[in-house]
Chain A
């Protein structure tokens, strides 16, 4: 496993490459201003519009299709996603609560989600991206029969991935999005293949086939194991992090291996990384530590005295590792 010194050196090289790269870039152009305007409009539109459609999601060799609907009921926004292939699964997002129904398992998970979160995939959580990314207009294209503007969210350094968006010119709706690695290969993408934007959404499209308060006795309700949502009580803090990343939340969770796991969420406004700290159980095999990859996610696990630190995120390995290495016990 790499030492902290080696990691710091790697981070410095990434930062230097960023500075050298940015020196050769032109100053903000009209294109960039246009791209910023389109991007801001897209973020507003996806939280204001009503819509229903079918989308295809793809990550590596895995794909799923889903029907997504967003409407207003009794003055509140509701989003419902129904997975159309494979095992049945339904998600409902309303009033900051996410319910995920798995009828085959007779199980439902209930989680509180950060404000502004949508079921629409690959949607940035924040509009404050200028410090870590630059926006570039890339022209136009058609998606699901609609004219779209294409913009690229380009990272200013190697600590995050690029994202590309296809945005409906008429409404501002996000029609297609991709996450791209450092070689511009697509790690993850989604696109609507059919969509209706605006107008009233049929209530049947917004209500899941199940109701939390009326589930049978054989259903298991999992509320995410959050013991304490109060900030600052995990006992851990992030001493260092790659540029642009900061801790946005922390909770104490109950998980299968420990009844008290500190969970910190670190984000640059677009990319989110979770860090879990839990008591070590015996000697962890050496090959269980280090950096791993699963799909578009990187996982980094290390020992910290009598604890194990695990960081997970859709970000380059160097960022996930740096954030895991930055965790220290709160003094």
Chain B
């Protein structure tokens, strides 16, 4: 997957992040510049005044922007804005894009998500599974590791505890929206019917 595809997928929250790419994004000036420019577009569309930037360079980059094709995975919630969709629309090749997108869906898959390419070899962020047993496949969730620590089994209701812990933990980003969904469905019939 190209850098542009990885940037767009990261902005849209699609697939699992490739830790090696994220680390490179933090260090590589040129890549970070591309990232900033995409966020400037996002800011403008959201009605926010963007952080000052080099408009001439941004315009040049806008003209040179290639079509970005990212295979999508199902997203559980409607999203009012998608940077990669808007970016692709700029190039005025929506019809061609649709054809290519359909083609990409029938190409052989190289893994479950759009970030799967190199993450297995280059990951520098420990996954819970690799920490406990590097040889255990991803499907091993829920089983015990060598140190007796098990993954929280699917369906176990720890979300409410995590939510209550959040204001004191110092990390408000780690649990995403899913942490809010389960308690609501469990206690509020109105939300279940939504």
Contacts and interface: CB of A to CB of B under 8 A. Distances in A.
A20 B43 CA distance: 54
Given A60-B127, A122-B171, A204-B47, A288 B176 contact: no
Tell me which of B29, B132, B161, B181 has the highest count of chain A C-beta atoms within 10 A of its own C-beta.
B161
Given A61-B119, A144-B32, A204-B47, A256 B187 contact: yes
Given A85-B12, A105-B191, A310-B161, A59 B174 contact: yes
Interface magnitude class on chain B: 35 or more
B70 interface: no
Nearest to A296: B174
Given A60-B126, A220-B188, A86 B13 contact: yes
A142 B29 CA distance: 10
B163 to A, nearest CB: 7
A299 B158 contact: yes
A187 to B, nearest CB: 6
A179 B150 CA distance: 21
Interface string B108-140: 000000010001000111111001100000000
Contacts, number: 243
A221 interface: no
A56 B22 contact: yes
Contacts of B25: 56, 193
A23 to B, nearest CB: 27
Nearest to B177: A87
Interface residues of A, number: 93
A45 interface: no
A204 B165 contact: no
Given A123-B170, A272-B168, A194 B180 contact: no
Given A190-B173, A194-B35, A84 B158 contact: no
B177 A58 contact: no
Contact of B173 (A64, A187, A287): A64
A215 to B, nearest CB: 15
A61 B26 contact: no
Interface in A116-169: 117, 119, 121-125, 142-145
A312 interface: yes
Interface stretch (A36-44, A106-114, A230-238): A106-114
A104 B78 contact: yes
B36 interface: yes
B169 interface: yes
Contacts of A50: none
A312 B162 contact: yes
Contact of B36 (A142, A143, A194, A287): A194
Contacts of B168: 113-114, 117, 125, 249, 265, 267, 272, 274
12 contacts: A59-B174, A62-B16, A64-B13, A85-B11, A89-B177, A98-B172, A142-B27, A185-B131, A188-B125, A274-B169, A291-B150, A317-B149
* Ranked 10 nearest A-B pairs via Cβ: A85-B13, A63-B17, A86-B13, A185-B126, A274-B165, A61-B16, A294-B152, A191-B26, A57-B173, A87-B77
